[in-house]
Structure 1
Amino acid sequence: MMKTETASAGLDLPPDARVGIIAGGGSLPVEVAAGSAGQGYAPFIILMEGEADRLPELCLYEHETLALEAIGSLVPLLKRHRVTHLVLAGEIKRRPRLTRLRPCLSLLAVIPVVVMALARGDDGLLKVVARALEARGIKVVGAHEIVPTLAAAEGVLTKAAPRDSDRRDIEAGLAAAKAIGALDIGQAAIAVGGRVIALEGIEGTAGLLDRAKLLRGHGRIAGKTRGVLVKCAKPGQELRADLPSIGPQTVESAHAAGLAGIAVEAGRSLILEGPTTLARANELGLFIVGLAAAEPAYG
Structure 2
Amino acid sequence: MAADSAAPTAAPAPAGPVAIVAGAGRLPLLIAAALERAGRSCRVLAIRGFADPATRRRADATVDLLDVRGALDTLCAWAPAGVTLAGAVARPSPAALLNTLAAYRNRDALRSLASGGDDHLLRGVLALLEEHGLQVLGVRDLAPGLMAPAGRLGTLGPDEPAEASVEAGRALLASLSPHDVGQAAVVAGRRVLAVEGPEGTDRMLARARSLARRPLGLGRPPAGMVLVKRAKDGQDLRVDLPAIGPRTVRRAAEAGCIGIAVGAGDTLVLDRPETVSLADRLGLFLLGLTPDPEPAR
Q: Secondary structure at the match of 1:173?
A: helix
Aligned counterparts, 1:278-293, within 5 A: 278-293=276-291
Q: How far 1:118 sits from its partner (Å)?
A: 2.4
Select the residue among 190, 209, 234 that pairs with 2:205.
Answer: 209
1:31 matched residue in structure 2: 30
Select the residue among 224, 246, 249 that pairs with 2:247.
Answer: 249
Q: How far 1:35 sits from its partner (Å)?
A: 1.2
Aligned counterparts, 1:45-124, within 5 A: 45-53=44-52, 55-60=53-58, 62-95=59-92, 98-99=95-96, 108-110=103-105, 112=107, 113-124=109-120
Q: Which runs of 5+ in 2 are unaligned?
A: 1-11
Q: Secondary structure at the match of 1:236?
A: coil
RMSD, matched Cα: 2.3
CA distance in 2, matches of 1:117, 1:167: 39
Question: Aligned pair in 2 of structure 1 residues 78, 295: CA closer, same or farther (>3 Å)?
Answer: farther
Q: Is the 8 A contact 1:165 1:194 kept in 2?
A: no
Select the residue among 181, 194, 200 that pairs with 1:198.
Answer: 194
CA distance in 2, matches of 1:115, 1:141: 26
Q: Deviations over 1:219-264 (max 9, x none)?
A: 3875623411001111210110001110110000011111100001
Q: Secondary structure at the match of 1:191?
A: strand
Q: Is the 8 A contact 1:266 1:293 kept in 2?
A: yes
Question: Aligned pair in 2 of structure 1 residues 107, 164: CA closer, same or farther (>3 Å)?
Answer: same
Question: Aligned pair in 2 of structure 1 residues 139, 40: CA closer, same or farther (>3 Å)?
Answer: same
2:9 matched residue in structure 1: none
Q: Secondary structure at the match of 1:279?
A: helix
Question: Aligned pair in 2 of structure 1 residues 98, 44: CA closer, same or farther (>3 Å)?
Answer: farther
CA distance in 2, matches of 1:96, 1:23: 20
Q: Secondary structure at the match of 1:52?
A: coil
Q: Is the 8 A contact 1:33 1:58 kept in 2?
A: no
Q: How far 1:205 sits from its partner (Å)?
A: 0.4
Q: Secondary structure at the match of 2:125?
A: helix
Q: How far 1:274 sits from its partner (Å)?
A: 1.1
Question: Aligned pair in 2 of structure 1 residues 56, 47: CA closer, same or farther (>3 Å)?
Answer: same
Q: Is the 8 A contact 2:166 2:261 kept in 1?
A: yes
Q: How far 1:15 sits from its partner (Å)?
A: 6.1
2:223 matched residue in structure 1: 225
2:168 equivalent to 1:175? no
Q: Secondary structure at the match of 2:103?
A: helix
Q: Secondary structure at the match of 1:235?
A: coil
Deviates more, 1:234-243 or 1:116-125: 116-125
Q: How far 1:101 sits from its partner (Å)?
A: 7.1
Q: How far 1:177 sits from its partner (Å)?
A: 1.9
Question: Aligned pair in 2 of structure 1 residues 100, 145: CA closer, same or farther (>3 Å)?
Answer: closer
State which structure, 1 or 2, has the greater radius of gyration over its C-alpha atoms. Answer: 2
Q: Is the 8 A contact 1:22 1:86 kept in 2?
A: yes
Q: Is the 8 A contact 1:19 1:43 kept in 2?
A: yes
Q: How far 1:14 sits from its partner (Å)?
A: 2.7
Q: Is the 8 A contact 2:253 2:284 kept in 1?
A: yes
Q: How far 1:107 sits from its partner (Å)?
A: 5.4
Q: Is the 8 A contact 2:22 2:47 kept in 1?
A: yes
CA distance in 1, matches of 2:282, 2:204: 20
Select the residue among 182, 185, 188 that pairs with 1:186.
Answer: 182
Q: Secondary structure at the match of 2:60?
A: strand
Deviates more, 1:71-80 or 1:229-238: 71-80
Question: Aligned pair in 2 of structure 1 residues 110, 32: CA closer, same or farther (>3 Å)?
Answer: farther
Q: Which runs of 5+ in 1 are unaligned?
A: 1-12
Q: Secondary structure at the match of 1:207?
A: helix
